Amino acid sequence: MIHELHAEKVLDSRGNWTVKAYVNGISGTAPSGASTGTYEAKVIPTNQAVKIINSKLQRLVGEKLNQAEIDILLESMDGTDNFDKIGGNTAIAVSFAVFNAMHKSKKIIREIFPFPLGNVFGGGAHGGYTTFQEFLSLPVKAKSIYEAIEANAELHHRLKETFRKKAKVVGINDEGAITAEIDDLKALDIITDTAEDLGCRIGIDAAASEFFKNGKYTYRSLKKTLKPEDQLDFLIETAKKYRLIYIEDPFEENDFKNTAELTKKIGKNCLICGDDLFVTDERRLSQGIREGAANSIIIKPNQAGTVSQAYDTVSLAVKNNITPVVSHRSGETSDSTMARLAVLWSVPIIKAGVIDMRVAKLNELIHLWNMAESPKMADLKNMK
């Protein structure tokens, strides 16, 4: 039963306030995005979210501690499609806290572990010079969670050295990724060579809605502006040249058609993943399935608003052979709920960062690995 529910505001990794909910003394904290999709659950001001939990949501006290039931109550107390009234940030904080309170006594023991997809280099809305938002490493050769986490960390270390030698200005952005004054393709040259030495394959999150204006995609540092059909050719060429294993949001968030075209052309060897395209929403994923747009989906529970809605989207994806990738946001805390969700749901990939406070998620994966009897890394099928 829920005996006690309250909320407080806490700082996130960007130094912004976010909402932390406590259920029976166990917490859950809402993350937040910078390159958010238009169709995500609504985010309301943190003060308001705290107030709603400490007043209106007190009617949850006395209810059974049951994820599905509480999540449905949250949806019905809001009454809109997108948590317009109580806020998706409010809902996910409570939903995470319920999840953690339930699993405090019922430990998560699973044998299949996700490969960490690590953001080692970046730009776009998270800070940096490149137009692509994230340059991601998948340690496909790793045999254990330790090897996988270490490969990404080692790649981050090596790249920091290399970029310091090859670029004038080098830094770290919102997600702990390295930034350097260099163009997207030169960055890929450097990252791919170093990654392959460590048994990692490379992918990108283009986050294309962020650089789509007036019908065109503008690459600042490459000094080119592409029509959608040219963006398609450019991505196919780039994927082949750098053996990309993963491309997230290759087109703006409404372009199912070109995403489908890209999936048809290179989807056999590359995950084409929808983040802003699907926003962890079953209806948008259903449209993607009908149109053949993407063969992978980002699962960000706060885009949906509750753990149960995120899980329904994972189930729909798995039934349709769409690879789910559970993901953090660019604004995070040391909350590690998403690592437990990824293991519980046996998803093959988790995008959780490489350094700084993001290690809370990675360290939780290590803990769950050590609690399992004979843990194994997920089967990446033909991705090695």
**319 included as an active-site residue:** no
Residue closer to Zn ion, measured from CB, 7 or 239: 239
Q: One of 75, 175, 248, 252 is an active-site residue; which one?
A: 175
Residue closer to ligand PGA, measured from CB, 159 or 352: 352
Query: CB of 203 within 8 A of CB of 246?
Result: yes
Size of the site for ligand PGA (CB under 6 A): 12
329 makes contact with ligand PGA (CB under 6 A): yes
The residue assigned the tokens 């730009």 is 123
**How is the chain split among helix, strand and coil, in percent rounded to 5?**
45, 20, 35
253 makes contact with Zn ion (CB under 5 A): no
Task: Report phi then psi at 14, rounded to 5.
Answer: -95, 0
252 makes contact with Zn ion (CB under 5 A): no
Task: Report phi then psi at 121, rounded to 5.
Answer: -145, 145
Exactly one of 71, 184, 275, 335 binds ligand PGA (CB under 6 A); that residue is 275
Exactly one of 13, 27, 29, 35 binds ligand PGA (CB under 6 A); that residue is 35
Instruction: Scan residues 231-260 and list those touching ligand PGA (CB under 6 A).
Output: none
**300 included as an active-site residue:** yes
33 makes contact with ligand PGA (CB under 6 A): yes
294 makes contact with ligand PGA (CB under 6 A): no
Query: CB of 279 within 8 A of CB of 40?
Result: yes
Q: One of 20, 300, 351, 361 is an active-site residue; which one?
A: 300
Lookup: tokens for 156? 């981050």
Nearest to 337 by CA among 310, 314, 362, 361: 361
Torsion of CA 57, 58, 60, 63, to 10 degrees: 180
Least Cβ distance, residue 164 to Zn ion (angstroms): 27
Identity of the amino acid at 247:
I
Q: Applying CB under 6 A, which part among 27-35, 149-157, 192-200, 257-265 lies near ligand PGA?
A: 27-35
In sequence order, which residues have a C-beta less than 8 Å from that of residue 362 and are 6 or more positions away? 116, 149, 339, 352, 353, 354
Q: Applying CB under 6 A, which part among 1-9, 64-72, 92-100, 323-331 lies near ligand PGA?
A: 323-331
Say how many CA atoms lie within 13 Å of 330 toward its Cβ. 20
Residue closer to Zn ion, measured from CB, 275 or 335: 275
C-alpha–C-alpha distance, residues 66 and 355, integer Å: 34
205 makes contact with ligand PGA (CB under 6 A): yes
Give the N- to C-terminal CA distance of the chain in Å, as an integer: 46
Beta strands in the chain (DSSP E): 5-11, 17-23, 26-29, 112-113, 115-116, 118-122, 134-138, 170-172, 178-180, 201-205, 212-213, 216-219, 224-226, 246-248, 271-274, 296-299, 323-327, 349-351, 376-377
* 38 to 77: interface string for ligand PGA, x by CB under 6 A: ----------------------------------------
Instruction: Scan residues 175-214 and list those touching Zn ion (CB under 5 A).
Output: 205
Least Cβ distance, residue 48 to Zn ion (angstroms): 26
Residue closer to ligand PGA, measured from CB, 61 or 172: 172
Nearest to 313 by CA among 304, 39, 228: 304
29 makes contact with ligand PGA (CB under 6 A): no
Least Cβ distance, residue 33 to Zn ion (angstroms): 8
Residue closer to ligand PGA, measured from CB, 199 or 274: 274
Give the binding site for ligand PGA (CB under 6 A): 33-36, 125, 133, 205, 207, 275, 327, 329-330
Give the binding site for Zn ion (CB under 5 A): 205, 248, 275
Catalytic residue set = 175, 300
